């Protein structure tokens, strides 16, 4: 449901931030996807090497279709690498594979932010899907309790994005530390850092976007209350 007013500028700012972050990560990933690693390691081989060194021999490395669809599934203990990472021996592929291994290491060590994020997933899904319709229904009906319910629901989505930040930054730090320990030369490690930092900016943009939306809902609710 769309509601156009002066606060819609916040939605536009959030959209532009997300687009800029996506452009940054795509450009960085594409650049370093053209650089073949001197190690000869593919994303799959890198992940297997890191997982085995961490004692996670039972965590399989499987292929998933698409690009930038790489992820670690903590529920099933499976690490998925995409078309552009799994069998590719580029600097970008190695960096992404190591980052996902960082999440596997977090899971093994019961890293609190990762556990918290996993627990927030169902609440965040409900919040992101139901919050805005509930809020605007309350706005149209001039029913303030429904507006508040919508805002409170959206808080779970905002919290999810905020908790995601330390999870992602920590996984990237782990990846860089592992790769710098005799796996990649310095020039290639620099490329990995650029790719992972660009990827991290997409999570920062998502967090800012959600916070701007929350501010918008609060402003709209307050404005309607003053008019009433």
User: Pick the catalytic residue: 88, 100, 168, 188?
Assistant: 100
Q: How many CA atoms lie less than 13 Å away from 42 in the CB half-sphere?
A: 12
Q: How many helices (H) and strands (E) does the chain have?
A: 6, 3
Label residues 7-41 b or e (16+ Cβ within 10 Å = b): beebbeebeebeeebeebbeebbeebbeeebebeb
Q: Residue 79: in which H helix or E strand, if any? A: strand 78-81
Q: What's the burial of 118, exposed, middle or buried (CB within 10 Å: 0-12/13-18/19+)?
A: middle
Q: Is 55 strand, coil or helix?
A: coil
Query: Is residue 75 annotated as part of the catalytic site, yes or no?
Result: no
Which DSSP string corresponds to 9-35? HHHHHHHHHHHHHHHHHHHHHHHHHTS
Active site (catalytic) residues? 100
């Amino acid at each position: 449901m769309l509601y156009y007013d002066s606060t819609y500028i916040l939605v536009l700012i959030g959209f532009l931030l997300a687009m800029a972050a996506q452009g940054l990560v795509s450009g960085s990933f594409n650049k370093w996807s053209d650089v073949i690693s001197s190690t000869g390691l593919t994303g799959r081989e890198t992940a297997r090497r890191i997982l085995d060194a961490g004692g996670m021999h039972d965590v399989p490395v499987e292929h998933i279709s698409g690009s930038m669809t790489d992820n670690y599934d903590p529920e099933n203990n499976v690490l998925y690498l995409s078309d552009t990472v799994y069998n590719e021996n580029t600097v970008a592929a190695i960096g992404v594979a190591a980052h996902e291994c960082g999440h596997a290491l977090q899971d093994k060590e019961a890293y609190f932010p990762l556990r918290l994020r996993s627990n927030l997933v169902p609440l965040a899904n409900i919040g992101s899907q139901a919050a805005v319709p509930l809020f605007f229904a309350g706005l149209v009906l001039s029913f303030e309790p429904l507006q508040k319910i919508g805002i409170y629901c959206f808080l779970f989505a905002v919290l999810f994005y905020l908790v995601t930040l330390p999870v992602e930054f920590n996984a990237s730090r782990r990846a860089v530390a592992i790769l710098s320990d005799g796996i990649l030369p310095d020039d290639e490690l620099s490329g990995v850092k650029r790719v992972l930092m660009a990827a991290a900016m997409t999570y920062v943009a998502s967090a800012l976007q959600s916070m701007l939306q929350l501010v918008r809902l609060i402003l709209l609710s307050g404005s309607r209350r003053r008019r009433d």
